[in-house]
């Protein structure tokens, strides 16, 4: 659990609970039962090597801070988190902005709070990342307007951060479709058509990892690229520096190549930071 995200969530809930308690105090005291428990949809592992990463500790702390019973509803994907909110199995869930958008569009979910970056932003820039010796990088760096790096992605193997992720899937595919590089395969109103669209434009080996697998998340997408599994990774502006750009090289991930080996293509948009969603 990112401590900054946890703090945002705790403070929002504390403020919200205090406000609600004040309103409830003017009415029937029995209505206060609505605030006696809170269920958070959260991805839970079978074992944690670092006890501080165990979300149950966060739930216990939050329960003490809010003076209510806080429990975790186990989920294994953000799609499952959406369903947990949709069917009332959980009260809130923290998720990627892309999944949150799908939840808002399809199920009427709303945002309670959003993660704020250290520089005050509630968004980040999304980029495609390639290796400097690739033809895509050459097309980007040659200052020739007739060579288009994005068109060269067709048929290549893509490394996404996960299913329905903002910077890792929705934004790049929206850019590629909107600019005529890729064609929608299937019903455009069915979110599952995105999978077919990806494999049709890139290839059948496109990496769309599940949570907990080696190539999941921003680090996983760049790992996929670094290990030669894919030709292009989709990540955010700070990903390479965060995992492979430490002044102390020993602090970099083991799979990292030299930072100069990675080339970021021009941003194809900004992604909203991770929100806390609920079902009104």
pLDDT tens track for 20-45: 333 333 444 444 345 578 999 988 76
Residues 101 and 128 in one domain: no
The predicted pLDDT at position 2 comes to: 46
Residues 70 and 200 in one domain: no
Q: Does some domain include residue 277?
A: no
Residues 146 and 107 in one domain: no
Q: Does some domain include residue 63?
A: yes
Q: Does some domain include residue 135?
A: yes
CATH code, domain with 63: 3.40.190
Percent of the chain with pLDDT over 90: 60
How far is CA 98 from each of CA 22, 70, 81, rounded to the nearest angstrom?
34, 26, 13
Question: Which of 80, 100, 117 is at the close of a domain?
Answer: 117
Residues 71 and 157 in one domain: no
Q: Does some domain include residue 280?
A: no
Q: What residues have CB less than 8 Å from 50, skipping those under 6 apart?
A: none
The predicted pLDDT at position 188 comes to: 87
Rounded average pLDDT over 179-198: 94
Contact 195, 208 (CB under 8 A): yes
Rounded average pLDDT over 96-111: 89
- Total-model pTM: 0.70
Percent of the chain with pLDDT over 70: 84
Average pLDDT value for the chain: 85
Question: Which of 57, 92, 117 is at the close of a domain?
Answer: 117
Q: Which domain holds residue 38?
A: 3-117
The owner of tokens 């999304």 is 126
Question: Which of 90, 117, 144 is at the close of a domain?
Answer: 117
Q: Per-residue pLDDT for 9 more than 60?
A: no
Residue 233: phi and psi, rounded to 5, are -115, 150
Query: Domain count of the chain?
Result: 2
The predicted pLDDT at position 83 comes to: 95
């Amino acid at each position: 659990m990112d401590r900054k995200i946890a703090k945002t969530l705790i403070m929002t809930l504390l403020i919200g609970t205090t406000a609600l308690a004040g309103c409830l105090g003017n009415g029937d005291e029995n209505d206060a039962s609505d605030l006696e428990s809170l269920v958070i949809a959260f991805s839970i592992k079978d074992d944690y090597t670092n006890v501080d990463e165990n979300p149950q500790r966060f739930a216990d702390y939050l329960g003490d801070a809010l003076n209510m019973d806080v429990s975790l509803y186990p989920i294994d994907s953000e799609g499952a988190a959406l369903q947990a909110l949709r069917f009332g199995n959980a009260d809130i869930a923290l998720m990627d902005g892309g999944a949150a958008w799908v939840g808002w569009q399809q199920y009427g979910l709303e945002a309670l709070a959003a993660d704020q970056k250290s520089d005050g932003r509630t968004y980040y820039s999304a980029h495609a990342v390639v290796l400097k010796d690739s033809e895509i990088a050459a097309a980007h760096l040659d200052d020739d307007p007739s060579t288009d790096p994005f068109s060269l992605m067709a048929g290549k193997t893509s490394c996404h951060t996960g299913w329905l992720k903002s910077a890792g899937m929705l934004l790049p595919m929206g850019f590629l479709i909107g600019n005529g590089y890729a064609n929608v395969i299937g019903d455009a109103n069915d979110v599952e058509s995105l999978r077919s669209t990806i494999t049709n434009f890139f290839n059948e080996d496109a990496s769309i990892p599940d949570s907990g697998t080696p190539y999941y998340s921003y680090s996983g997408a760049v790992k996929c690229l670094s290990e030669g599994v894919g030709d292009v990774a989709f990540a955010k502006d700070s990903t390479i520096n965060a995992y492979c750009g430490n002044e102390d090289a020993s602090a970099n991930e083991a799979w990292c190549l030299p930072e100069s080996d990675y080339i970021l293509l021009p941003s194809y948009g900004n992604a909203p930071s991770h929100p806390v969603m609920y079902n009104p």
